[in-house]
Chain A
């Protein structure tokens, strides 16, 4: 069991944990202070950046990732990576919806006019509705 007991001695220690706690509390004060200023849309980015630094500090020292076997870090980084992909594609979708229209959509103002031949509504106008109501009567 000698290798097992040796592996404990590499793990942090009260001093590192306490220093980490104070760093986290300091960053909390920073994030509250930063929110009281108006940086426009940068406020969210700043808040998330500080939160991410705090999360990384918790992960590295409180959760021992810095001393651990890398496989655990790979697992959790993969989790965050896929969350990032999820977030990215959702925002790519909702933030670009207004700018994209189907080519044959005729109702939009300021849209590039579509040639009539490519517009199904104009190229092939629907047949007049008169024959339709007459049809059931013929079968009687």
Chain B
């Protein structure tokens, strides 16, 4: 296998089944090695993402330890009245949207792996639409917070609370809330951009069972964004 591909380096095409793949870069012995290398690089990047959000999670945990009462009271503002019950409507809705989008993403990767061009495009577009739904829900949620002056740090100005006793705790909670959901939202935006780029390339028919690395790697990125939300949801919306 290695001998056939090294001899192919300077002979573009015309070798039947051992044709040189146009995506095969000359410094990799085989396409498989190239794929594994890209994938390992992506996983290293994802590990740094874990550490980026991990620092914020640790900070959130420490502040919750410091202001336990204020954090529980502040998180009630993330809930809405649903049939007379306080329920984290937006948070739960976005959890479901992201989980389903992870499924459409992995189905898109599967379609690319099995040479189904139309299906690949369809699943990727579906993933973009679900990501947009996520951001719309997020926007509505933020809008309510802005209207109530539930803002981070020094901008906090919710008048209904006991301003002397709890302001530090509430302001800290909303600082972390906006910082972490905001950073997560930026990751979703980046994901939409990447998915749009994949749709363009998939429509041109660039992906096949021999070369689907970009679809696979963006898929990994999209799943880590989902995974971060899986931790964000119970920690912010379900404290008690």
Contact = CB atoms under 8 A, between A and B. Distances in A.
Interface of A: 1-5, 7-8, 11-14, 17-18, 20-21, 24-25, 28, 31-32, 35, 38, 43-44, 47-48, 50-51, 54-55, 58-59, 61-63, 68-69, 71-72, 75-76, 78-80, 82-83, 86-87, 90-91, 94-95
A57 B236 CA distance: 21
A21 B51 contact: no
Contact of B58 (A13, A62, A68, A87): A87
15 contacts: A1-B31, A11-B110, A17-B107, A20-B103, A21-B99, A25-B99, A28-B233, A35-B240, A38-B240, A43-B240, A50-B234, A72-B40, A79-B51, A82-B51, A86-B55
Residue of A14, A18, A24, A69 with highest tally of chain B CB at under 10 A: A24
B69 interface: no
A17 B231 contact: no
Chain B contact residues: helix, strand, loop or mixed: helix
A51 B230 contact: yes
B40 A71 contact: yes
A51 B61 CA distance: 16
Contacts of B227: 55, 58-59
Chain A contact residues: helix, strand, loop or mixed: helix
B58 A90 contact: yes
A42 to B, nearest CB: 10
Given A1-B17, A4-B210, A25 B220 contact: no
A90 B62 contact: yes
Contacts of A87: 54, 57-58, 61
Contacts of A95: 65
B131 interface: no
A1 B1 contact: yes
A13 B62 CA distance: 41
Residue of B1, B106, B107 with highest tally of chain A CB at under 10 A: B106
Contacts of B62: 90-91, 94
A55 to B, nearest CB: 5
Contact of A72 (B39, B58, B95): B39
Given A1-B18, A5-B209, A76 B96 contact: no
B9 interface: no
A79 B50 contact: yes
B58 A86 contact: yes
B224 to A, nearest CB: 8
Contacts of B54: 79, 83, 86-87
A49 B54 CA distance: 16
Contacts of B190: none
Contact of B234 (A13, A35, A76): A35
Interface in B100-134: 100, 102-103, 105-107, 110, 113-114
Given A1-B17, A59-B227, A75-B44, A31 B99 contact: no
A87 B233 CA distance: 19
